[in-house]
Amino acid sequence: MLKMFFLLGISLVTFVTNAYAIPAFARQMGISCNACHSQNGFPALNRFGRSFKASGYTMVGAQKSIYDDQNGKFLSLTDTLNLSLNVKIGYVQGEDPAEAAQIQFPQALGFMIAGRVANNIGVFTEIGYESEDGNDPLFQLATLVVPVVYELPDYTLGTVFYRTSEFGAAASYDTLATGSKANGQTLEAVSVTSAQSYIVNNAGEEAAAEGIGFYIASDLWYGVYSAYVPTVGTVSGVTPAHYASLAFTPQVGNWDLGMSGQLWWGTASRDDANTSLPKIEDKTDKFALNFQAMGSVDTLPVSVFLTYAQAKQGSIFAQTPNKVKAATIMGEIAPIAHILMFSAGYRAADNGANTNSTDNAQLLAVKYFYKENVQCQFDYVFNQNSQKRNEIYFTLRAVF
């Protein structure tokens, strides 16, 4: 069975490479994927990638546009539909000793339509398949983000309408690779590399969110505020919860730095589908601190990521007897820049339980990029909690 899995993986890599695959945004800009992504490879962003996101995905490079010749201000579309496909196949041995290891083919499959809608409007849409959600529809809307931007000489102002089943309120706007949302992280073992992901994945609800956000961004910093509800779909009688973030992204020598603070607060309420029942209330009470540094020592690319997060008991992030908290550190070195990377990480955590609450873990990982958009990754997690087994993640991922 494992032999068949590896053969399927090799076939996938060969197919994608022969198709001369480039993702939607690279297609729109007519540039390499690595023009936007850091030395850690996709999905982590570099400075230019953060600027592209701040623009609401509206920058256009080599791709031509369609204009209304007589009333140009009414139409400005790219001449190609920017459709991408994200494919993952994987082998997963999770932390639960009672669950058998799985070969997942596919592990995930997402169709993404993304890019420029008009001069100041962009869109990111993903319709995805998740192998773990056997009771859900085969394909469903995973994420929809619609930014409307206004460009100033030194700043970009944005209003973002969003719905996501994966990324939480940080889907409104976030550009760091520290785990504020799952699609910004560099490794599969997210609960070890990110304190925010540990709390969401291990102690609370899934990272669903729907709301409206506002941001102001420059090369040096950005600030975000969002009103949201931690659910997706039709809701009524809504009182939102709140999310805010302030980040600084300076360049110091050859080091691209990022640091941010995040805060979730307030109680979101909404009518129950059965209106005779009381309102559904979701208390949010969490904060996080993040730091990243991507640069080089001599000529060797090196990256460091540090996170801390804490959620109070009784919130949707900590449905536990006590508060949940975690701190992580992760480092990456790339003997061959953009191609081969080695990672090591450590998590110190308290899962909020009355007993056996210490939940520390170590991580070793290796990533190999066959092409910019074709990645092979192996993660091994050593769990110190006696109720958990060690975890294994082997993933082949292609975006084209």
**What string of pLDDT tens digits covers the 400 residues of the chain?**
434 333 334 333 333 333 223 366 666 666 676 677 766 666 678 777 787 788 888 777 666 667 655 555 566 666 677 788 888 899 999 999 999 999 988 888 888 888 888 888 999 888 887 655 445 556 788 889 999 999 999 999 999 999 998 889 999 999 988 876 655 677 889 889 999 889 985 554 558 899 999 999 999 999 999 999 998 887 888 899 999 999 999 999 989 999 999 999 999 998 877 767 788 889 999 999 999 999 999 889 999 999 999 999 989 998 889 999 999 999 999 998 888 999 999 999 999 999 999 999 999 999 999 987 889 999 999 999 989 999 999 999 888 8
| ∠ CA 389-395-399, rounded to 5° | 150
pLDDT at res. 36: 72
Distances (CA, A) of 249 to 50, 172, 185, 286: 10, 18, 17, 23
Helix (H, G, I), strand (E, B) or coil at 231: coil
Residue 77 token pair? 């579309």
pLDDT at 15: 33
What are the tens digits of pLDDT across the range 281-290? 899 999 999 9
- For residues 327 and 261, what is the distance between their CA atoms, to the nearest angstrom? 14
Give the CB-side neighbour count of residue 349, counting CA atoms within 13 A: 34
Q: What is the pLDDT of residue 119?
A: 81
CA distance 52 to 115: 10
Cα Rg of the chain (Å, integer): 21
**CA distances for 129 relative to 38, 125, 218, angstroms:** 27, 13, 35
The model carries a pTM of 0.86
Question: What residue spans of the chain are helical by DSSP H?
Answer: 2-18, 24-29, 47-54, 190-193, 195-203
Q: Decide: helix, strand or coil at residue 11.
A: helix
Q: Residue 253 has what DSSP assignment?
A: T
Structure letter (DSSP) for residue 267 = E
The Cα–Cα gap between 50 and 218 comes to: 9
| Domains, the chain, ordered by start | 23-399 (2.40.160.10)
> Rounded CA gap, 318 and 311, in Å?
6
pLDDT at 16: 33
Q: Name the DSSP class of 320.
A: S
pLDDT of residue 2: 39
pLDDT score, position 181: 63
Distances (CA, A) of 202 to 101, 192, 222, 269, 324: 19, 11, 29, 23, 10
Alpha-carbon torsion angle 292, 190, 288, 57, nearest 10: 70
H/E stretch holding 149: strand 140-151
Q: Which of 152, 130, 154 is nearest to 141 (CA)?
A: 130
pLDDT of residue 8: 38
Cis before 137? omega within 30? no
85 token code pair: 């496909």
Cα–Cα distance measured from residue 82 to residue 141, given in angstroms and rounded to the nearest whole number: 17
H/E element, 224: strand 221-229
Q: What pLDDT shows up at residue 178? A: 83
